[in-house]
Structure 1
Amino acid sequence: MEATRTFQFLGLTFNVGNMISGVIVAAIVLGLVFICSRHLQMKPSGKQNLLEAMVDFTNGIVKSTCQVVQRAVMVCGPLPYSTLS
Structure 2
Amino acid sequence: MSDEKRRHQRTKVTLQIKLMSNGDEGITLKTRDISDSGIFLLAEEDSIPPLGTIVKVQVQGLPIPAPICTMEVVRQEPEGFGLRMLDK
- The structure with the greater share of residues assigned to helix is 1
Instruction: Find the structure with the greater CA-based Rg.
Output: 1
What TM-score bracket applies, with the shorter chain setting the length? under 0.3
TM-score scaled by structure 2? Answer: 0.18
- Identify the structure with bigger relative contact order (alpha carbons < 8 Å, sequence gap 6+): 2
TM-score scaled by structure 1? Answer: 0.19
- The structure with the greater share of residues assigned to strand is 2
